Amino acid sequence: MEEYKKVLIELDDLMRNIGKHFIPDLEILNEFHLTKRQVAILFLILKKPETTISEIAQYFEISKSAVSQSMTKLEEEDIIIREINHDNRREMNLILGQNGQRIQHELFKLEQKMMTIYLTKLPIEDLHHVRDTLKKLDEIIMKEKKDK
């Protein structure tokens, strides 16, 4: 069990270190002084456009009220715009505002940089192995949570 703990700590440290290398490339986020939750919500919306507050609440396992509170700052900064869901008028879709589009563009540039400069230096099989291992871990966690 101790070896698992050691590996988990090493993985966490590595992911944080890798992330730190790219923080300067996303300086645009500093303009808005967002909380970690607001950034996490923004990144989810960037990955899944036209998501709803209910879907975000479910994803992060938080209340819709907590999501709405975080959304206020994102709206004030024209990062996110609430739009009525035409399929369910009681729901609001969240789309990118002008600043959200700017952030999306910077994130796209960063992803391109990561792929062309860094990831292509690894054999694709290694990347597949990391992906498959993380997928297995996610499945184990979901199964264990479901069984409880």
Question: For the packed helices 36-47 and 64-76, what is the interaxial angle rounded to 10 degrees?
Answer: 90
Please, are residues 46 and 103 in contact by the beta-carbon 8 Å criterion? yes
Question: Which pLDDT does position 49 carry in this prediction?
Answer: 78
The reported pLDDT for the residue numbered 25 is 79
Is the separation of the CB atoms in 102 and 28 below 8 Å? yes
Residue 82 β-bridge partners: 94
| Spatial distance between the Cα atoms of 56 and 44, rounded to a whole number of angstroms | 8
Any bridge partners for residue 52, and if so which? 93
Task: Report the pLDDT value the prediction gives residue 78, as an integer from 0 to 100.
Answer: 95
pLDDT along the chain (148 residues), means of 10: 92 89 82 89 88 90 91 93 82 87 92 91 95 94 88
Provide the pLDDT for residue 27: 84
Separation CA 88–CA 62 (nearest Å): 21
- Write down the pLDDT at residue 94: 84
